[in-house]
Chains A and B, each alone.
Chain A
Amino acid sequence: QVQLQESGPGLVKPSQTLSLTCTVSGGSISSGSYYWSWIRQPAGKGLEWIGRIYTSGSTNYNPSLKSRVTISVDTSKNQFSLKLSSVTAADTAVYYCARAAEGYCSSTSCRIPYYYYYMDVWGKGTTVTVSS
């Protein structure tokens, strides 16, 4: 089955750019209707969605982070990446990559039919600390 593994520096200095990569194994990043996502979790707190990318390169970002986030994909390496610029201590967290599967809610179940997405595979996470 598909597995995800995050990698990257565990320590980043304030004002610098955090860079992480997620490697997908057990399947092609290009197969199926999946978006590839980043989520983070500060110690003792809840989950915060950062953004996602489709293999076409189409992206969506959390509005609160949009100005600092770039997510990219490299289908030849079966990887996708996160860059978060101008980091501060508030960006210290465990960063997870995840696969977002697509579903469709028809008019028989939903007032207005729509496509929805949900995380169905998670990486193990990597801790990033922002400190000088």
Chain B
Amino acid sequence: QPVLTQSSSASASLGSSVKLTCTLSSGHSSYIIAWHQQQPGKAPRYLMKLEGSGSYNKGSGVPDRFSGSSSGADRYLTISNLQSEDEADYYCETWDSNTQVFGGGTKLTVL
């Protein structure tokens, strides 16, 4: 079963860009993941699914500022032109052996 590792926190300034990382455990580097955003006090929201090739498909209504990329076992979520509403927890997710797995989440602070 894969393990998804995320940094616990990240910060960036309003209007800048930030790149969040989700790392797949050994033996699972080709897995597809999904990114979710959870704003304070709200339910998670699906952002995109991301392949090992770097190809991604975003959910309906997700702003163009959100993009994905990959390198080896690392899956990235890049947010450009950071807005205050981007301050949230971000979770990655994958699937294997009849089990859904979530990363521990990254808390993004917009300065």
What residues make up the interface of A, taking CB atoms closer than 8 Å to B? 1, 37, 39, 46-49, 52, 60, 62-63, 96, 98, 100, 103, 105, 109-111, 116-125
Contact = CB atoms under 8 A, between A and B. Distances in A.
B3 interface: no
Given A46-B105, A47-B91, A109-B30, A120 B46 contact: yes
B26 interface: no
Contact of B30 (A62, A96, A110): A110
Interface of B: 30-34, 36, 42-46, 49, 51-53, 55, 59-60, 91, 93-95, 98-105
B99 A119 contact: no
Given A1-B60, A119-B46, A119-B93, A46 B32 contact: no
Contacts, number: 77
A122 B43 contact: yes
Question: Which of B42, B43, B44, B99 has the most A CB atoms < 10 Å from its CB?
Answer: B43
A46 B91 contact: yes
Given A117-B100, A118-B32, A118-B49, 14 more contacts: A39-B100, A96-B43, A96-B44, A105-B32, A109-B52, A109-B55, A116-B31, A116-B94, A118-B46, A119-B46, A120-B46, A122-B44, A123-B43, A124-B42
A49 B100 contact: yes
